[in-house]
Amino acid sequence: MTPLMTSTKRIDVSGKGGGSTKPPHRLLSSIDYLQLIPAMILLGVGLLYIYSTGHQKIGGNPDLWKKQLKYILLGACVWAFFARVNYKTWTQWALVAYSAAIVLLVFVLLFGTTRYGAKRWFSFYGLFSLQPSEFAKPAAIVFVAWLLSQRRFNPNNLKHIFGVALAMGTPFLLILIEPDLGSAVTLVPVAAAMIFVAGVKWKWVVVGIVVAMIMIPSAYPFLSDYQKERVLVFLDPARNPTGKGWNSRQSQLAVGSGGMWGKGFMKSTQSTLGFLPKTVANSDFIFSVIAEETGFVGSVSIIFCYFLLVFSAMRTAAISSDPFGRYLAVGIGTLVFIHSAVNIGMTIRLAPVTGLPLPLVSLGGTFIVSMMAALGILQSIYIHSRSDNTR
């Protein structure tokens, strides 16, 4: 199969050249606004509806939006840094970043804070928390992009594919042990998309699909009890409507009751009256609140913003001046797509409840910062590829 983007140039992975932090043009005149504008809209929407969900009648926290604003400001600084640095510099740091991510994933299993039966966070004296799995995703993408861009890499050589599988499989297993099945599973389609763009033959694509169809149902016996229950509730909504199925049911009611134009800002009855619990209304199920308050029109607008983000990533991949940038862009675009599609899907029962946050919208500091870092790298690919292509 011919690679999706047909450039045959291979990146210089020696670390010489491509390390300049000076952008080829002034940043404001060269950035990809097709990425920046929808990202800013999503960040603003998230801030508004975190404020809205903070005003529940019982146990609401009206100050959560201030915490989120701090994360957004930090994320903006991180985005600007990664956008300014030439993305080719990360070929020198790919292994270091990946190794650091693996070490953090091991350490969180040994020394992390347990919440809701899972060890996923480092808690620093109650001031803030750090979730290593969110940093592991972009680190793994950078490392796999570096592997795929090696001169001798052959996407149709099983040994080489095994190396990529091992690179993604290591963080996958460590995240799965926490346990965090949702975050772990996101790495699978990301790796598949990057390998596909590298030029894998169609016969291996078919083999991969068949293997996935066999492995997915056969993995069910190995799931934990609460994960099995989530699958069963997804298949049978009436199974446990007042227990594990409660959030999913209330989410559907919220989305459905929004109508065409919604009930208005801060008028979401499912959230305000606490039917959609405060523990998920501002994170996993924030799209439900947005849908109830802004209706079909608002919901479609949010989905369109994600479409623009993913489109901008694929457009950046298409114009990338080298394979490393192309694979990076595809990996980041796929990560945004998987997160948004699964999160929105679970709010309307098109997917099981997985706990995946909605990119740039859900409450969460580590996820905001890591996603902004990934988008900053994507922006750097766009800026420097345009410069390279016009020389």
Non-local CB neighbours of 242 within 8 Å, separated by 6+ positions: none
Domain membership flag for residue 281: yes
Per-residue pLDDT, 117: 75
The verdict on residue 16 lying in a domain is: no
Cα–chain center distance at 226:
23
**What pLDDT is stored for residue 115 in this prediction?**
81
Residue 42's domain spans which residues?
Answer: 27-389
Classify residue 203: in a domain, yes or no: yes
Angle at 359 between CA 129 and CA 323, to 5 degrees: 105
CA distances to 40, 183, 284, 302 from 68, rounded to whole Å, are 14, 21, 15, 19
Which candidate, 229, 12, 162, places its Cα nearest to that of 170? 162
12 is a domain residue:
no
DSSP, residue by residue, 6-23: -------TTS-SS---S-
Q: Is residue 340 part of a domain?
A: yes
Cα separation, 94 vs 375, in Å, equals 17
Domain membership of residue 2 (yes or no) is no
Instruction: Give the dihedral sign, CA 333/334/339/345.
Output: positive
Distance CA 310, CA 350 (A): 20
Q: Which two tokens stand for residue 290?
A: 């947005």
Q: How far apart are the first and last CA of the chain?
A: 30
Distance CA 69, CA 64 (A): 9
Q: Is 238 helix (H, G, I), strand (E, B) or coil?
A: coil
Query: What pLDDT does residue 118 have?
Result: 83
- Sheet hosting strand 118-124, strand order edge to edge: 113-115, 118-124, 128-130
- What is the rounded distance in angstroms from the CA atom of residue 374 to the CA atom of residue 247? 30
Is position 44 within any domain?
Answer: yes
Q: Tell me the helices (H) and strands (E) count for the chain, helix number first.
A: 15, 3
Q: Is there a domain that residue 363 lies in?
A: yes
pLDDT for 242 equals 75
In tens digits, the chain (391 residues) has pLDDT values of 444 443 434 444 444 444 444 444 466 678 899 999 999 999 999 999 999 998 887 777 888 999 999 999 999 999 999 999 999 999 999 999 999 999 999 999 999 888 877 889 888 876 778 999 999 999 999 999 999 999 899 998 989 999 999 999 999 999 999 989 899 999 999 999 999 999 998 888 888 888 888 888 877 777 777 778 888 888 887 777 777 788 888 888 999 999 999 999 998 888 888 888 877 889 999 999 999 999 999 999 999 999 999 999 999 999 998 999 999 999 999 999 999 999 999 999 888 888 899 999 999 999 999 999 999 999 999 999 887 776 6
What's the confidence (pLDDT) of residue 27? 60
Per the structure, the count of domains in the chain is 1
Cα separation of 364 and 30, whole Å? 30
